[in-house]
Every structure is written in structure tokens, then in C-alpha cells.
């Protein structure tokens, strides 16, 4: 009997795709079989309306599925199949995609709130929701390959699991109170006799702190409306000012924030990221000091829904870790590391296979700021021209480390790991490299890394024994934005406005505010911020007054510096700058933001966390009328902020509102860099303009830059971070371009 073999590639395992195919077969009278294998989903079918059956596979797949390709070839059956069946999975392998973890669906949420055997059960899930990547040990995605293997299904769950028409058919994390993971509350080192949810809610309502085991690790939770509880958490965790993430029910959002339609859509996404939304000032200032935006996520597991239903108020839900270390994921690890922070532990016995922080995103203008739970291990198609890209591993930078793999013309940008200077973060980086390679059958031919020889990721790449491609930091930023936007390998040159903190330039100086002209294969530096010394090296990142001092002195405004920073060791700093002693010159735009913030009195002596000064400056600027932006001088490609500082100091002396000063800085900076890039496009040197680098996490700067570039084609980050979290994608693209044949000359 003639039939078809249909191969479906993409994110098609663990998302209910096989029962979806089974139901389509019933609808269209098709017989045969479907199974998972190393390459995705394989279908052998005959009879019925095969054309309509095949078309429906990609036209309306399950909500969590992502179909990359449907490939068909004719086959012959020795005997006509009599029915359509779901066959056992094929051999293990890693040519398919793994679904990210997904937030609780509406059906499961209704189930835990209604009478029935899963009422109040914290681990309810189905093929449309629940843990995926955080429980997976190896492929193919079957129960015995996950951390759910320890829980033998009861007869009722087995019946659901085996019934193709059931929404729990082959839902690998399927569970119920009779056979699944168990939840308990620990206080004073012992399991409490209280109902875990009721007991945890009571502690939170009394101002206590509870360590909650989630999907990718532990959170530390407290009542976000209780200033005393929030301050206690800050004191215990030694986190003086960094904003805390919040978790809430959708019906409670209006009580403390003002999400727009785009914010709500993103909050409800299956990825359930932390979303930056406007605050209303209803919560204590200590939740997010100096910020006008709050990082908010909706409950994304049944456990979280049950807890929020019990407390009926928003909760601080911040990573359960020692400062600078990765999040705790094991029960014993949490007890050892978090006991000094938490008054109780809300625990369960389902193991976490890999640590994943919560993703952080913004809806308007859209951007992923931290790519993690819910987004990883989703892949991006490589642009046209990269079809023959070899398997490459790229190791990113020093800050916001993340790894990227290329395989089968796809790029997998891994999860946020953290700052590589921390020993445990570096250990997590090494583990992630091995984990991704094993899980996805990755055998790299090339390693890509940053140009900086002292970055730990660079040193790691050089120790792999692979051929190494070293990619300049800002070139990688530009290439990452190009790759995300599908810019072809031979699409022509682009003008890249790259604004960030620090990156080693090919001339040996520290870059950070550049306009580049180039493509994946190379670049020229056409404009740059006038360099200023970083007094004290790394201390310049932590103490904004140092950056303000050198900029004011360079503008002949030393008296203003003396007045603004009278309490700082200015004489010693000036001596170091003059002697070039631990004061490397830098064109960093990030340090320029710090300098302006310091002049306005925003954490001038020390930042409580990376980026605090710039974030406070953005929040302040949003409250002011932008008006006319400050001017910069330009000569020979060098953009000098001296006139800007002169005008800023004059405005300070005139009593101009600080918010207006902050807004004028944003507008002036955007106008000057936009003008440099616009000229490259208008002269025909560049096809489009690319905006990348950590400074473009600043929504106001991004908006102002887009306004200045109105009428020109502009590429920005949306699915990958503009900061160093996206660096590895750009490194991989540059390394691939170097390996692939250059374009034929015309």
C-alpha cells in the first residue's frame, strides 16, 4: 500500500504533538503510526485525506510546539495499516528541540481550585504546561529520562497517560497526590505538621521569609507590602538597593502597578517572565529603591498559585542564593546556604535537573533582558548564507555569561549564568558547557570567545584544544543583533551603534561607545566617545564619582568637581589619572551614564549593584520633559561630551530640575550617535543601522535613538539580550562567517 513518511522537525517533543497527530489522523481517516525519535517526530501514514492531514501538521500545532519543517517522502507498506497508533519512541538522540518550561495552563489551574483528586495539588500539569527543561536529564524526552522517573504512576494517572484523547497523554511530569512529588514545610530544621501552603502563608503574613522551591531553583519570598519584611530580607541577604522581583496574581496587579496591554500579554505568556512594568508607588520604596518600574511575574506553577491564593497579596520572589552565587537548587544545598535568610522552607522532593533563573523582559519597547527559564533551550534559525555553518561553541564574556551552540543551521543561546569572577558561577559555566553538549549531541569544531585574554571564558575556550576564533567585544554585539534579525551573511555592511560598559578594543584600549561600519566578517571604527581614564580600573565601575571627576576635569570644570564630590579623595584620583597609574583610557558609554548620574547626586560614591546609577538616571529622566538635548563636540570621529558637561553644570547652578537635566542628557547622547550612523547610511556606506550593547536596555535611550533615526532601517534586539547575555550568539556568527566561503566577487 502506498503511503507517506512525514518528518516533523522543531520543538515537537514534550508538547503534546503525538496526540495532536493522532487526533488529526482520526479526523482525516488516516492509518499508520507516529513516534518520537532523535530528529523530532516521525509519521508513517496511509489512506484517508493525506494532503489535508499533512497540511494541518504545521497549520495549527499545539500551543507549545514550534514547527521548523515538515518533510515528506513516498513509502510502501507491506500490509495496509488498520488503525493509527502512537508507537514507542525511537533511539535516543539530540537532533530535535526541547521545550522550555511552561506556566500552568488554564485547565490545570481550574483543576487545582475545584473539587477532584488534584484539588490543591502543587504539581498538577499536562501536555500544555509544566516543567520540561528543568527536569530533563537526557533525550528523547520520555519520563524515564527525567527527574520524574523516581515517581511510579498510579493506575489513575497511568490511564490518563495512555489515552491519546486525554490532555495528559504522554505528559511526562504527570502526577497526583497518590503517586507524585510531595510538598512539605520545614521550620526550625524539622518538618511542620501544618498544611504546607497554609503554614507558609501564615509565616509570610507575620513578616517572615520563606525559601520556596520552584522550577529552576529556590526563591526567597516575603510580603511585598510589608516594609519591615522587605528590609529584613535586604539586611539578611546583604542586598542594599537592587530591586526585588515580585510575584502576584493577575487580579492583584492593579493594586501596585499599571501594566499596559502589551505588558499583560507578556505576563500571560507561557514563558511567564519577569516583566518590567510601571509602578504606582503603592508598595514600600524599599522594594525597588529609586526605580519607576517594577519587575513583576505572575504565578507560573500550581505551587505558586496556591501560595498566592492563600496570602492574597504580592510577594517579593527573589533568587535564593548567597550574594553573587548561583541559585540553590537542591534541598540540602538550600538548607546549608539559605538558613541564615529564611524562617521556613517550602520544600518538595522532585529534583531539579538544571538551575534556571527567571527570565527578565520588557514589553515596550520589547526586549529580553535576561534569557533563562521559559525561553531556554529555544533556538533561533541562523540567517540565510549560514546553512553550512559547522558546529560551533561560543563562550560569551565575563559578565552575564551565557553559552551559544550552533547545529543544523540553528543557534541555541543558553541560559543566564552570571558573573564569571565568582568561583561557583564559573563552576556552573563549566557544568553548563558539558550539559548542553551532552544533551544536544554537540561536537564542536570551533570555539569562539572574547578578545580579552583575562576573561575566564576566553581562557576556558583556549584550553578546549579546539581552533579558537577571538571576536572583538563590540563586533560580537553587532553580529548578535544581526543574527537575531536574520541579516544575511552577504547582506551588506551595516552601521552599528554599540553602547555598553567595557570591552577590549583591537588597539588595546577599553571601548564602550562606538559606531562601527562592517558585517559579520569584519568592521571599521568610524566614531567613538572621547576616551577618559578609568581611575582605579574596576573601581571606576563601582564608584560613579570617579567617572564624573575625569569628565568634569577634561571640560575645565574642576571647581564643579571639587564642589560636587568634596568627600571623595579627589587629589589622589587626579594624580593617578595624570600618571596613567591603573587608569586605562576608555570610551565607555556606560561610564558616561555613571558620570552624569553622579553629578545629579544619584549614588555618587558607590553603587549597590551593577548599573544602579544608570537605572536611576533613566527613571529620573522619564519624569522630565526632554526638551532640547545637550550638545557634544565632534572632530575626526571623536565625540566629546565636554560641552554637555558644561551645559549640565550651568543647569545645576541655575537650579534646573534634575529630571530635565537627565532627560536632556539622554536626548543629546542619542542625537549625536544617531547622526554619526545616519551619515553612513545616507552616503551609501551602510544598508541599515544596528543598536546593541547593554546601554540599550535603557528603554528611554532606545526610544530616543529610534526617534533620531526615523525614516531609516534600524535593527534592535527583541529575543536576545542587548547586553553581554547575547554576546555568545554574535561570537558564534562571526566564527561561522570566518569559516564559510567569502562571497564571490562580482
User: What DSSP string runs through 583-651?
Assistant: --EE--HHHHHHHHHHHTTSS-S--SSTTHHHHHHHHHHTTS---SPPP-EEETTEEE-HHHHHHHHHH
E-assigned strand segments in 288-421 = 293-298, 315-319, 344-348, 360-363, 366-370, 379-381, 392-394, 404-407, 410-413
In this structure, are residues 677 and 689 in contact, taking their beta carbons and an 8 Å threshold?
yes
Tell me the C-alpha distance between 504 and 178, whole Å. Answer: 58
Short-list 575, 543, 546, 570, CA closest to 559? 570
C-alpha angle 220-224-228 in degrees, rounded to nearest 5: 90
Which H or E run contains 527?
Answer: strand 523-529
Beta bridge partners of 360: 274, 370
The candidate with the shortest Cα–Cα distance to 76, out of 5, 175, 3, is 3
Cell 520588557, located at residue: 362
Using only the alpha carbons of the chain, give its radius of gyration.
27
Distance of CA 577 to the CA centre of its chain: 37
Please, which residues have CB within 8 angstroms of residue 140's CB and are 6 or more apart in sequence? 13, 36, 37, 38, 89, 90, 92, 93, 96
| Known catalytic membership, residue 18 | yes
Q: Given its phi and psi angles, is residue 745 left (phi above 0), alpha (psi -120 to 50 degrees) or beta?
A: beta
Report how far residue 230's alpha carbon sits from residue 236's, in angstroms, rounded to the nearest whole number: 10
| DSSP calls for 259-283 | --HHHHHHHTSTT--EEEEEB-S-S
Assigned C-alpha cell, 631: 550638545
Separation of alpha carbons 466 and 447, rounded Å: 6
Cα separation of 671 and 103, whole Å?
Answer: 41
Residue with cell 541599515: 688
Residue tagged active-site, from 4, 9, 36, 118: 36
DSSP notation for 662-685: HHHHHHHHHHHHHHHHHHHHHTTS
Which one from 4, 9, 18, 470 is the annotated catalytic residue?
18
d(CA 696, CA 428): 27
β-strands 2-11, 40-46 pairing? antiparallel
For residue 230 the three cell numbers come to: 522587605
Cis peptide before 140 (omega within 30 of 0): yes
CA 549 to chain centre: 34
What CA–CA distance (Å, rounded) separates 529 from 670?
12
User: How far is CA 301 from its chain centroid?
Assistant: 19
Residues in CB range of 440: below 8 A, 6 or more apart: 94, 139, 377, 405, 407, 412
Half-sphere exposure of 559 (CA within 13 A, CB side): 4
Q: Which three cell numbers stand for residue 200?
A: 507558609
Shortest CA distance to 237 belongs to which of 260, 218, 257? 218
Alpha carbon distance 117, 177 (integer Å): 8
Of 142, 10, 31, nearest in space to 88 by CA: 142
390: cell is 559547522
Active site residue 36: yes
Q: Which residues are marked as active site?
A: 18, 36
Amino acid at each position: 500500500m502506498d503511503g507517506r513518511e512525514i518528518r516533523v522537525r522543531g520543538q515537537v517533543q514534550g508538547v503534546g504533538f503525538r496526540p495532536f497527530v493522532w487526533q488529526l489522523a482520526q479526523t482525516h481517516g488516516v492509518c499508520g503510526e507516529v513516534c518520537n525519535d532523535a530528529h523530532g517526530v516521525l509519521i508513517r501514514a496511509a489512506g484517508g485525506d493525506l494532503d489535508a492531514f499533512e497540511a494541518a501538521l504545521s497549520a495549527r500545532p499545539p500551543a507549545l510546539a514550534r514547527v521548523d519543517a515538515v518533510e515528506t517522502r513516498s513509502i510502501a507498506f507491506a500490509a495496509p495499516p488498520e488503525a493509527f497508533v502512537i508507537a514507542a519512541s525511537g533511539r535516543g538522540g539530540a537532533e530535535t528541540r526541547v521545550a522550555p518550561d511552561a506556566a500552568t495552563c488554564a485547565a490545570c489551574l481550574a483543576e487545582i481550585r475545584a473539587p477532584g483528586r488534584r484539588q490543591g495539588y502543587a504539581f498538577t500539569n499536562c501536555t500544555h504546561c509544566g516543567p520540561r527543561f528543568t527536569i530533563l536529564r537526557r533525550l528523547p524526552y520520555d519520563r524515564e529520562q527525567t527527574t520524574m522517573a523516581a515517581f511510579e504512576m498510579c493506575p489513575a494517572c497511568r490511564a490518563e497517560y495512555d489515552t491519546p484523547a486525554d490532555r495528559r497523554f504522554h505528559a511526562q511530569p504527570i502526577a497526583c497526590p497518590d503517586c507524585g512529588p510531595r510538598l512539605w514545610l520545614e521550620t526550625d530544621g524539622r518538618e511542620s505538621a501544618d498544611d504546607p501552603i497554609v503554614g507558609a502563608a501564615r509565616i509570610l503574613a507575620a513578616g517572615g521569609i520563606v525559601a520556596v522551591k520552584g522550577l529552576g531553583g529556590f526563591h526567597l519570598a516575603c510580603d511585598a507590602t510589608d516594609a519591615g519584611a522587605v528590609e529584613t530580607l535586604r539586611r539578611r541577604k546583604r542586598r542594599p538597593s537592587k530591586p526585588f522581583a515580585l510575584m502576584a496574581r493577575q487580579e492583584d496587579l492593579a493594586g501596585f502597578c499599571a501594566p499596559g496591554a502589551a505588558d499583560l500579554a507578556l505576563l500571560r505568556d507561557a514563558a511567564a517572565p519577569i516583566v518590567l512594568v510601571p509602578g504606582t508607588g503603592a508598595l514600600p520604596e524599599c522594594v525597588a529603591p529609586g526605580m519607576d518600574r517594577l519587575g513583576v511575574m505572575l504565578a507560573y506553577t500550581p505551587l505558586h498559585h496556591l501560595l498566592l491564593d492563600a496570602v492574597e497579596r504580592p510577594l517579593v520572589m527573589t533568587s535564593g542564593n548567597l550574594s553573587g552565587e548561583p541559585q540553590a537548587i537542591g534541598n540540602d544545598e538550600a538548607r546549608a546556604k539559605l538558613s541564615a535568610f529564611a524562617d521556613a522552607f517550602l520544600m518538595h522532593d522532585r529534583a531539579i535537573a538544571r538551575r534556571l533563573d527567571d527570565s527578565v523582559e520588557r514589553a515596550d519597547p520589547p526586549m529580553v533582558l535576561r534569557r533563562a527559564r521559559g525561553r531556554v533551550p529555544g533556538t533561533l534559525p541562523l540567517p540565510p548564507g549560514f546553512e553550512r555553518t559547522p558546529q560551533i561553541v561560543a563562550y560569551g564574556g565575563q559578565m552575564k555569561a551565557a553559552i551559544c551552540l550552533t547545529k543544523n543551521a540553528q543557534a541555541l543561546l543558553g541560559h543566564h549564568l552570571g558573573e564569571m569572577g565568582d568561583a561557583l558561577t564559573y563552576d556552573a559555566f563549566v557544568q553548563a558547557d558539558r550539559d548542553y553538549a551532552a544533551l544536544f549531541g554537540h561536537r564542536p569544531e570551533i570555539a569562539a570567545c572574547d578578545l580579552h585574554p583575562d576573561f575566564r571564558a576566553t581562557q576556558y575556550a583556549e584550553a578546549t584544544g579546539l581552533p579558537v576564533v577571538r571576536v572583538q567585544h563590540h563586533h560580537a554585539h553587532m553580529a548578535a543583533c544581526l543574527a537575531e534579525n536574520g541579516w544575511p551573511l552577504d547582506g551588506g555592511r551595516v552601521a552599528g551603534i554599540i553602547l555598553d560598559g567595557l570591552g577590549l578594543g583591537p588597539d588595546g584600549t577599553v571601548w564602550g561607545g562606538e559606531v562601527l561600519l562592517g558585517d559579520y566578517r569584519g568592521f571599521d571604527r568610524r566614531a567613538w566617545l572621547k576616551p577618559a581614564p578609568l581611575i582605579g580600573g574596576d573601581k571606576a565601575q563601582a564608584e560613579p564619582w570617579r567617572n564624573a571627576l575625569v569628565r568634569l576635569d577634561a571640560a575645565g570644570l574642576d571647581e564643579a568637581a571639587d564642589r560636587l564630590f568634596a568627600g571623595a579623595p579627589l587629589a589622589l584620583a587626579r594624580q593617578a589619572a595624570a600618571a596613567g597609574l591603573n587608569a586605562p583610557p576608555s570610551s565607555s558609554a556606560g561610564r558616561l551614564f555613571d558620570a552624569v548620574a553622579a553629578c545629579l547626586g544619584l549614588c555618587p560614591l558607590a553603587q549597590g549593584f551593577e548599573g544602579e546609577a544608570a537605572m536611576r538616571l533613566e527613571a529620573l529622566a522619564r519624569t522630565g520633559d526632554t526638551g532640547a538635548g545637550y550638545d557634544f563636540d565632534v572632530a575626526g570621529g571623536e565625540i566629546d561630551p565636554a560641552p554637555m558637561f558644561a551645559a549640565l553644570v550651568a543647569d545645576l547652578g541655575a537650579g534646573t530640575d534634575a529630571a530635565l537635566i537627565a532627560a536632556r542628557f539622554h536626548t543629546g547622547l542619542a542625537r549625536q550617535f544617531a547622526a554619526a550612523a545616519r551619515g553612513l547610511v545616507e552616503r551609501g556606506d551602510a544598508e541599515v543601522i544596528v543598536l546593541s550593547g547593554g546601554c540599550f536596555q535603557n528603554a528611554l535611550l532606545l526610544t530616543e535613538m529610534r526617534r533620531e533615526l526615523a525614516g531609516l532601517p534600524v535593527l534592535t534586539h527583541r529575543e536576545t539580550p542587548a547586553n553581554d547575555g547575547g554576546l555568545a550568539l554574535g561570537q558564534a556568527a562571526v566564527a561561522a562567517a570566518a569559516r564559510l566561503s567569502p562571497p564571490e566577487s562580482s
